[in-house]
Amino acid sequence: METQPRSVLLADDEVRALELLAAVLRRHGYWVTLATTPRAAREELARSRFDAVITDLLFDGRASGKDVLRAARELAPSAVVLILTGFPMLDAAVGLMREGADDYLQKPVDGALLIARLESALRRRDAGADSIAFVELAEILSKLVQNTVERIDPYTAGHGERTRRYSDLLAVELGLDVATRERLALAAIAHDYGKIFLRDLGFLTKRGPLSEDEFRDVQRHPLLGAEKLGDHARLRDVCLWISEHHERWDGAGYPARKPGPEISLCGRILAVVEVFDSLATRRSYKEAWDLERVIEYMRAGRERAFDPLVLDAFLPKLERFGFEWLRAPQHDVRAAAG
Ligand SMILES: [Fe+2]
């Protein structure tokens, strides 16, 4: 597997210092994302995966670096965290190491020292990883899905991976714990796995509407996926959520026609995200919709197709990131075609 450059989130409210450090990191081959407030840092941590977080201790005169550290421990447990601090705050920086920071550096930061300390922290992390980390496993599973389920219908390239990203954003927003988020990630990646067991795979790329018989067969895929994934005790929730990803809040979904409150929260998250990504994607039977039309459709589905709690958490994100998200499917389809 090709190794990707390490990704670093760099948080500091002093833009000039931020840019200088970013330039040093980039020269050493790191992918760098910048955040000028603890809040922006938290948002980035919820959106993307990072190998390292480097944060200043002080933001606007307050020791908010600890909020960045907490967000990193919560949202990116495998990332190393380095604290930057001025001399008077040395004690506070050492205190943060007790709360899970890996190292600290005194300001003004020397570029060569920063790289050396960062690499040493990353080496310590890698050496301590005696098993495959969850994020790596999820990436492997995602690739498998892309090379199997999504190859049957090339229009769906990247659908599982995007479903994982969007559902994780919602999971964070709705306060789900790390263990639940990890299981939800598995369910999101594999939610359409059951499609490969359908009687006739040609239905999936058929132009125009399906016949009643064909649609009935396609509707078996949530349960097929849940059944065929196996009966491992740790996957019980994952299988349940997969089986629920086409249920609707008003009870008119499939396969069980469960009314909203009976559908698990993760099943309801998948249902919202799955519909969004399907609308945003060109399929054999339809073009990709534009953002305005997608938002209007999602809004109209409140308390009908979608759980209002989940939808209300999703809509602001859609309004904020939707334009960017709508470009992702085209990119994934092109990448899959090769
Ligand atoms: Fe599905």
Nearest to 221 by CA among 240, 197, 239: 197
Ligand 1 centroid–CA 338 distance in Å is 25
Ligand 1 centroid–CA 221 distance in Å is 7
Query: Domains (ranges, CATH) in the chain?
Result: 7-128 (3.40.50.2300), 134-337 (1.10.3210.10)
Q: What pLDDT sits at residue 88?
A: 64
Tokens of 91: 């004690």
Give CA–CA dist 157/150, Å, rounded: 5
Ligand 1 centroid–CA 315 distance in Å is 21
The counts of H helices and E strands in the chain are: 15, 5
Stretches where the chain sits below pLDDT 50 are 1-2
Give CA–CA dist 166/80, Å, rounded: 24
Residues 178-198 have pLDDT tens digits of 889 989 999 999 999 999 998
Question: 319 pairs with which residues across the strands?
Answer: none
The residue annotated as part of the active site, out of 66, 195, 258, 317, is 195
Q: What pLDDT sits at residue 310?
A: 98
Q: Determine the residue type at 88.
A: P
Q: What pLDDT sits at residue 132?
A: 64
Residues 133-178 have pLDDT tens digits of 677 788 888 888 888 888 888 778 889 999 998 999 999 899 998 8
Ligand 1 centroid–CA 171 distance in Å is 19
pTM equals 0.65
Q: What pLDDT sits at residue 85?
A: 85
Is the peptide bond between 308 and the residue preceding it cis, with omega within 30 degrees of 0? Answer: no
Ligand 1 centroid–CA 215 distance in Å is 12
Known active-site residue 195? yes
- Per DSSP, the three-state class of 20 is helix
Question: 55 pairs with which residues across the strands?
Answer: 11, 83
Question: 83 pairs with which residues across the strands?
Answer: 55, 104
Ligand 1 centroid–CA 192 distance in Å is 5
Ligand 1 centroid–CA 327 distance in Å is 21
Give CA–CA dist 174/236, Å, rounded: 21
Give CA–CA dist 189/245, Å, rounded: 12
